[in-house]
Structure 1
Amino acid sequence: MKNLVISFICFLGGYLLVTAQDNIIINTEGRNTVSLNGIWHYIIDPYETGFYDYRFKERRENDAGAYWNAPVLKEKTDWTEHGFKDPYPIQVPGDWNSQDRIFTYYEGTVWYQRSFDAPKVKKAEDVYLYFGAVNYETHVYLNGKKLGMHKGGFTPFNFKIPKELLQKTNNNLVVRVNNNRYPDEIPTVNTDWWNYGGITRDVKLVILPETFVQQYHLQLDQKQDILTAQKKKRFTISGWVKLNQLVTGGKVSVQIPELNIYEDYEASGDSVKIALQAKKIELWDTNNPKLYEVIISYNTDVVKDKIGFRKIEVYGDKILLNGRQIFLRGISIHEEIAQEVRRAHSKQDAVKLFGYVKELHANMVRLAHYPHNEYMPRMADSLGILVWTEIPVYWTIDFGNQEVYKKAETQLKEMITRDCNRASVIIWSVGNETPVSDTRTTFMSSLVKEAKQLDDTRLVSAALEVHYIDGVNYVDDPLGAYTDIVSLNEYLGWYGALPDACKTAKWETKYNKPFFISETGAGAKGGFHDVKEMRFSEEFQQWYYQEQIAMVKNNFPDNYTGLSPWILMDFRSPRRNNPEYQEGWNRKGLIDDKGHKKLAFYVLQQYYKEIEEQEKQGDRK
């Protein structure tokens, strides 16, 4: 038995504990839960009548006109101007835009309501209300009392339900959701994707002991040389376990039965540092995505998870997975099911999207431009697909506003907290295509440093800017000095010039780091065929990919380490208004909005198959 007493920890070997989003419960799949998914009711409230009175002041808690209070009508003379009932049903999880034509372009406030009976709980148990994500600003009320609020459209949050507030039956749950865009929010007003509003991910009650394992992070210790560890068959697994509150005793247990690991730690405070020795670990990689059952417990609270162990690192200008160079055969994805014009949210949606990824022979996805639902990285874990995930610091963020920075940092912490145990996630990205300035670089580099403090078991990057200097595409974005890899978006042959401009293009980087193309692509309307010079034809997009692939093979620097073209499928965007070819769709997908593969899909597929075969034959270093 190992004994370790830690009363208060701010930093442990690269793991920042107490300053993370300490109230988030991770791995709700491994808990005792009751789903609140299904049919809710709604009120559309563009004037914010349910939240503000006619003087535009926030309503008092017991105000009968507040939409979080259920109207009580006893006499014919009683009146109300709101109520939740049929025929206004709405599906949760799901965006509101796809559920009724009245919502298609709607941005504003919608109130959600449903009733539920209290779950069976023991005397020493509590009930938490958990949301996978709600876009964007959320206020939550139960039985007329406010539980709390949250900002951020793509990360989880939860509230403890006071025992005295929970009724045995007919609990009235009301959620105010607002997806308006503002200059001082993350993302800001200017994006290139659809602003799907609503309760877009799972909602559940989580039943837990009064003291429970709230968060944990386990991974191979980054200080060990992985090839030596494999040779000697001695590995160190390090990390931490965090409880939801301070304790003065009890045991934190960590078990990995398949590795014959059974360790106990004495707990004091709210956090315990973990260090485990293991033999013969089968490392997680793209060809063998091995996952181990991990059981973490504190007294009577038991949490089970499946975790893969691997080491991702940069060595010079190469990316190494478990000590061996890896080439990223990537593709970018939006969290959208194009055929149904809706936000993706389920395990079945993840199966559909990753089916296309596997068919493409990709080994990596860039989940753009925000954290996707939890089913995506979990499925990537099981399939051996590497993941780049990012926060929506996008384009024209107010980089000089400290409050905006705090919002970005909060979303970064929430993303890392949720997915820190997913072996597939190898890159935390802090933003996309942010314009270069000293203020912006300070903002962005601070996020890079924060990500590295929160988690030292992954790489940190961002989509950088590229400049055209003396006939050379030169990557000298000052943010590149802070990121682990040099990632950039390039559209040579689509925005300006034609694809054959790739033949004479020259590329150089200021940094001796892995060089990764985080986006490249051209638009094409599925089924539209013409000569290759005709923009928006499938032939033009096919030509674009042919020239791009020839360029990366022949004209790219030696530190070229992969790409994630833009994008797997067409997706909705109000910016794209060509009436003949776009009609509100970004058409850069390799698959169109009906699910049909375009000609360019097969060009990229062939390129990836060639690389995959070279790797199998050992021809590619």
Structure 2
Amino acid sequence: MIQLSKRSAALCLIPRNIATLLLCLGPMLPALGQQPLKTLLVGIDHRTVTSLNGDWHYLVDQAPGRALYTGSGELNDRSYALNEHPNIVGKHNEEYDFATAPTIKVPGDWNTQVPQLFNYEGVLWYQRDFDAYPKPGTRTFLHIGAANYRSHVWVNQKRVCDHEGGFTQFDCEVTSVLHAGSNFVVIAVDATRLVDGIPSVGYDWFNYGGLTRDVSLVTVPAIFIDDYDVHLAHKAQFEPGNTELTGYVHVLDAPAGTSVTIDIPEAGAKTIAKTDADGNAAFTVKAAKLTLWSPETPKLYKVNLASGDDRLSDDIGFREIRVDGTRILLNGKAIFLQGVNVHAEAPIRGGRVNTDLDVAMLFSYLKDLNANFARLAHYPHDERMERAADRNGIMIWSEIPNWQHISFDKPEVYAKDVTMLREMIRRDRNKASVILWSVSNETPNNPIRTKFLTDLANEARKLDPTRPITSAVLGPKPNGNERVVNDPLCDALDVIGQNEYIGWYELTPEDADKIQWIFPQKPVVMSEFGAEAKFGNHGAINQRWTEEQQVDVFKHQLVMLNQIPQLRGITPWVLMDFRSTTRNIPKLQDGFNRKGLVSEAGEKKLAFVYFKKIYEERSIGKAE
């Protein structure tokens, strides 16, 4: 095990530059294959790609990852990654052969596809053949929407990249290893929970493993657009009638002075910008006309970007979100967020959300609920969710998976967090629906964690200064009927998220009526509250696990919440029952968190009907 010196460890508490960051990451590099920083492509779902979705062969690794890791813990590039076809009969474990192995659907978790792997949290190897015909002057990338949790990728026996994190996309350049005709890719995905992983080892959702989102090949010109940001200019204060658009387009490997065209025909906005020495082309352009995006008018514009031989179009909405005192302002107008939490649990079929049908069903629930807001808990969801939110006028809280047991004292964990934050923001910064970036959920209140998350919040502001930053805090301890929220993390937030379960995990539903919350003078979203009820289980309002009691808890919650002057939004927990290995009460939970307004089978509980009416009548909260 590599140890940092005391001086190096001290420097790593606050990495000040790239050199220091690399020093801090040094102990991790062998495990990550000493790979260089990778290109991360934006707008993949708007490019022409070659889909690699479908049937992949798979092999289950020998516990504990015997084929993936050597005896000393290093990555093994000489095992199943070679995709050899051994002819050694009777030699144990050397008869493994992808050619004769079963298949599994990609995208998809292995847990719900293979009964024997339902509770498996180890290493699975994926393989498939594909044809490629590389053209001179182009580059090709393997794009993976998400894979849980650590991934290692080989193409034609050469390792092309490694990635840690189960909910963000990554791209592996394969230009130099492809050849004309038949090629093959092998991906080892390790779903083992790690103490120093994010979200660490203990969390209240199911650890679905595998290639859970789309996989594709993307071919682009040698010099191409890999990142862009196009948004309404953020002024010192909102200006009605503002039609100024600004941002940047990044052209990878472009020499300084390379031309970039930004064209938004319907808005009558077109300009040409030049790249600087870093490949960034900053621009500002006035639109002739502009309808701002909002839940009532979720207008999207076709934005065309061009540089050299590269062309890319995206559908982008333009709006402004800001905090003013205790108000949240959308396009200068105070709003109240009528929302709900959403886990990436596929309705009815179960498993991870990763299809258009999954997303359409979830948004049908949100629209029926009269929601204008959704907290995507507790990790970045499939990009289809934000795209659908853009089209449907649903505002989004997007979060990275910092939960209760993160190793906040370790600089290498902070480095992972920064990477995940960058991956989340880079992918979704052009989504008008995303109005809040969240850096954590229910983390312990101590100075080390507060410093860690404060730095992370400031990093988010550097990456995107146009959106407010939030987090869901837990506590405080009761003081009579008062709850004084004094978590120092609130100082780093623009919007305070507060989780509490009065009437379920503590006290009685009626006790909520008397509780007074005292918050800092910032907007507050009550980000979690609720009770468990199994669909179809009926009884008295004081009978636990019944639909009637779930509604009664919510009724008393709203009495309490309506007394909070800074309340600017609510997201009851949770839209739909979801799998969790920690929820095993027989006949009531059976492996599911039952706090959903809808069952995992799509059945709407009484609580769904209750909130549908509350939201329709707008009888909770005030925008001012």
Q: Same fold (TM over 0.5)?
A: yes
> Does the CA contact (< 8 Å) of 2:38 and 2:171 recur in 1?
no
Equivalence for 2:6 = none
The answer on 1:483 being equivalent to 2:493 is yes
Output one character per residue of 1:311-335: Cα deviation in whole Å (capped at 9) or x when no partner.
Answer: 0001110000000000000100000
Deviates further, 109-118 or 465-474: 465-474
Q: Which runs of 5+ in 2 are unaligned?
A: 1-16, 18-36
The structural deviation recorded for 1:267 is 2.4
Give the whole-Å Cα distance in 2 for the aligned partners of 1:67 and 1:22. Answer: 24
The structural deviation recorded for 1:531 is 1.0
The structural deviation recorded for 1:224 is 5.2
1:357 alignment partner, one of 358, 363, 366? 366
Give the whole-Å Cα distance in 2 for the aligned partners of 1:51 and 1:392. Answer: 26
> Does the CA contact (< 8 Å) of 1:388 and 1:425 recur in 2?
yes
1:584 alignment partner, one of 554, 566, 591? 591
Equivalence for 1:16 = none
Give the whole-Å Cα distance in 2 for the aligned partners of 1:364 and 1:22. Answer: 33
2:246 alignment partner, one of 238, 250, 268? 238
Give the whole-Å Cα distance in 2 for the aligned partners of 1:87 and 1:396. Answer: 37
2:395 alignment partner, one of 386, 391, 399? 386
Equivalence for 2:614 = 607
2:286 alignment partner, one of 277, 281, 285? 277
1:182 alignment partner, one of 182, 186, 194? 194
Q: How does 1:554-573 map to 2 (within 5 A)?
A: 556-573=563-580
The answer on 1:343 being equivalent to 2:357 is no
Counterpart AA for 1:502: A
The structural deviation recorded for 1:545 is 1.3
The structural deviation recorded for 1:51 is 2.1
> Does the CA contact (< 8 Å) of 2:68 and 2:76 recur in 1?
no
> Does the CA contact (< 8 Å) of 1:31 and 1:207 recur in 2?
no
Counterpart AA for 2:586: P
Equivalence for 2:160 = 147
> Does the CA contact (< 8 Å) of 2:69 and 2:76 recur in 1?
no
Equivalence for 2:31 = none
Output one character per residue of 1:283-319: Cα deviation in whole Å (capped at 9) or x when no partner.
Answer: 0001000001101111110100011000000111000
Equivalence for 2:144 = 131
The answer on 1:213 being equivalent to 2:245 is no
Output one character per residue of 1:242-271: Cα deviation in whole Å (capped at 9) or x when no partner.
Answer: 112241443111001112222112224211
SS of the residue corresponding to residue 614 of structure 2 reads helix
The structural deviation recorded for 1:570 is 0.3
Aligned residue pair count: 585
SS of the residue corresponding to residue 575 of structure 1 reads coil
1:253 alignment partner, one of 261, 264, 280? 261
Equivalence for 1:492 = 502
Equivalence for 1:263 = 271
Give the whole-Å Cα distance in 1 for the aligned partners of 2:493 and 2:72. Answer: 45
Residues 502 and 110 (structure 1 numbering): CA distance in 2 closer, same or farther, change over 3 Å? same
SS of the residue corresponding to residue 223 of structure 1 reads coil
Give the whole-Å Cα distance in 2 for the aligned partners of 1:309 and 1:500. Answer: 44
> Does the CA contact (< 8 Å) of 1:292 and 1:308 recur in 2?
yes
The structural deviation recorded for 1:595 is 1.1
Give the whole-Å Cα distance in 2 for the aligned partners of 1:414 and 1:346. Answer: 21
The structural deviation recorded for 1:59 is 6.5
1:29 alignment partner, one of 39, 45, 55? 45
SS of the residue corresponding to residue 537 of structure 2 reads coil
The answer on 1:47 being equivalent to 2:56 is no
Q: What TM-score do the two structures reach when normalised by structure 2?
A: 0.91
> Does the CA contact (< 8 Å) of 1:433 and 1:463 recur in 2?
yes
The answer on 1:421 being equivalent to 2:430 is yes
Residues 430 and 57 (structure 1 numbering): CA distance in 2 closer, same or farther, change over 3 Å? closer
Output one character per residue of 1:444-473: Cα deviation in whole Å (capped at 9) or x when no partner.
Answer: 101110001100111100001331224301
Residues 70 and 484 (structure 1 numbering): CA distance in 2 closer, same or farther, change over 3 Å? same
Output one character per residue of 1:378-415: Cα deviation in whole Å (capped at 9) or x when no partner.
Answer: 11000000000100000111111111111111101100
Give the whole-Å Cα distance in 1 for the aligned partners of 2:355 and 2:555. Answer: 34
> Does the CA contact (< 8 Å) of 2:134 and 2:180 recur in 1?
no
Give the whole-Å Cα distance in 1 for the aligned partners of 2:479 and 2:462. Answer: 35
Residues 499 and 464 (structure 1 numbering): CA distance in 2 closer, same or farther, change over 3 Å? same
> Does the CA contact (< 8 Å) of 2:403 and 2:442 recur in 1?
yes
> Does the CA contact (< 8 Å) of 1:254 and 1:262 recur in 2?
yes
SS of the residue corresponding to residue 253 of structure 2 reads strand
Give the whole-Å Cα distance in 2 for the aligned partners of 1:580 and 1:278. Answer: 59
> Does the CA contact (< 8 Å) of 2:568 and 2:623 recur in 1?
no
Residues 475 and 28 (structure 1 numbering): CA distance in 2 closer, same or farther, change over 3 Å? same
The answer on 1:535 being equivalent to 2:549 is no
Residues 170 and 229 (structure 1 numbering): CA distance in 2 closer, same or farther, change over 3 Å? same
Q: Which runs of 5+ in 1 are unaligned?
A: 1-9, 11-20
Give the whole-Å Cα distance in 1 for the aligned partners of 2:464 and 2:75. Answer: 42
> Does the CA contact (< 8 Å) of 2:347 and 2:358 recur in 1?
no
Output one character per residue of 1:144-183: Cα deviation in whole Å (capped at 9) or x when no partner.
Answer: 11001000000010011133x2122221210000011111
Give the whole-Å Cα distance in 2 for the aligned partners of 1:213 and 1:162. Answer: 17
Equivalence for 2:10 = none
Equivalence for 2:521 = 512
The structural deviation recorded for 1:348 is 1.6
Residues 176 and 87 (structure 1 numbering): CA distance in 2 closer, same or farther, change over 3 Å? closer
Give the whole-Å Cα distance in 2 for the aligned partners of 1:343 and 1:74. Answer: 37
Give the whole-Å Cα distance in 2 for the aligned partners of 1:498 and 1:273. Answer: 56
The answer on 1:521 being equivalent to 2:534 is no
> Does the CA contact (< 8 Å) of 1:465 and 1:475 recur in 2?
no
Equivalence for 1:17 = none
The answer on 1:313 being equivalent to 2:322 is yes
> Does the CA contact (< 8 Å) of 1:377 and 1:425 recur in 2?
yes
Residues 529 and 278 (structure 1 numbering): CA distance in 2 closer, same or farther, change over 3 Å? same
Counterpart AA for 1:197: G
The structural deviation recorded for 1:100 is 1.2
SS of the residue corresponding to residue 181 of structure 2 reads coil
SS of the residue corresponding to residue 58 of structure 2 reads strand
Give the whole-Å Cα distance in 2 for the aligned partners of 1:98 and 1:293. Answer: 38
Equivalence for 1:93 = 107
Q: What TM-score do the two structures reach when normalised by structure 1?
A: 0.91
RMSD: 2.0
Equivalence for 2:180 = 168
SS of the residue corresponding to residue 313 of structure 1 reads strand
Give the whole-Å Cα distance in 2 for the aligned partners of 1:274 and 1:342. Answer: 42
Give the whole-Å Cα distance in 1 for the aligned partners of 2:134 and 2:263. Answer: 26
